[in-house]
């Protein structure tokens, strides 16, 4: 079990929001959890707004500004939302067990939506690029 599970959803979101979360525990799965928490609490559009404000502040606070990718951030939120709409899970741990492809095959999931390399595209890092293959809705 990943270290971020030692924190409650409230602790995790609060520490992330005030940039006190240990960056060592902010893994890919922890990114997905952040999306899950925000979607559960505020819906997908507000999750996008919140995370697209908080994540740049967090990466700046840990000196990793170059790692922020707006397209990838929003695409991940849409992907989590898609699976949440199918899920019966009432907590993130159960959710990620139910849909492990979000954790282990994320790049393959994104390749279903994007023909462009959103991981290395400079425009994708700064602006949200709509999927060019398969929309999220």
Q: What is the pLDDT of residues 61-114, one digit of tens each?
A: 999 988 999 999 999 999 999 999 999 999 999 999 999 999 999 999 999 999
Computed from CA positions of residues 87, 93, 96, 98, in that sequence, does the dihedral angle turn out positive or negative?
Answer: negative
Domain extents in the chain: 9-126
pLDDT at 53: 96
Could you tell me the two tokens for 116? Answer: 């462009």
Q: Alpha-carbon Rg of the chain, whole angstroms?
A: 14
Q: Which two tokens stand for residue 97?
A: 């067990």
Q: What is the pLDDT of residue 1?
A: 79
Q: What is the mean pLDDT of residues 118-125?
A: 96
Closest by CA to 54, choosing from 68, 33, 40, 72, is: 68
Q: How far is CA 9 from CA 14, 76, 84, 131, 135, in A?
A: 8, 18, 16, 30, 29
Give me the pLDDT at residue 36, please: 98
Query: What's the confidence (pLDDT) of residue 65?
Result: 87
Is residue 64 a contact partner of residue 46, using CB atoms and an 8 Å limit? no
Taking only the tens place, the pLDDT of each residue in 7-37 is: 999 999 999 999 999 999 999 999 999 999 9
pLDDT score at 137: 75
What's the pLDDT score for residue 25?
96
Instruction: Annotate 58-119 with DSSP letters as a single string.
Output: HHHHTT-GGG--HHHHHHHHHHHHHHHTT---SSHHHHHHH-THHHHSHHHHHHTT-SS-TT
Enter the tokens of residue 107.
């790049």
How many separate helices (H) and strands (E) can be counted in the chain? Answer: 8, 0
């Amino acid at each position: 079990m990943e270290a971020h599970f030692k924190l409650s959803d409230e602790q995790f979101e609060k520490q992330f929001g005030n940039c006190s979360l240990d960056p060592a525990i902010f893994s890919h799965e922890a990114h997905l959890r952040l999306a899950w928490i925000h979607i559960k609490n505020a819906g997908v559009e507000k999750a996008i707004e919140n995370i697209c404000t908080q994540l740049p502040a967090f990466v700046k606070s840990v000196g990793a500004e170059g790692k922020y990718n707006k397209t990838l951030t929003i695409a991940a939120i849409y992907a989590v939302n898609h699976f949440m709409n199918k899920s019966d899970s009432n907590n993130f741990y159960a959710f990620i067990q139910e849909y492990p492809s979000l954790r282990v095959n994320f790049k393959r999931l994104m390749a279903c939506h994007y023909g462009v390399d959103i991981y290395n595209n400079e425009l994708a890092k700064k602006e949200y690029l709509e999927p060019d293959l398969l929309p999220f809705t």
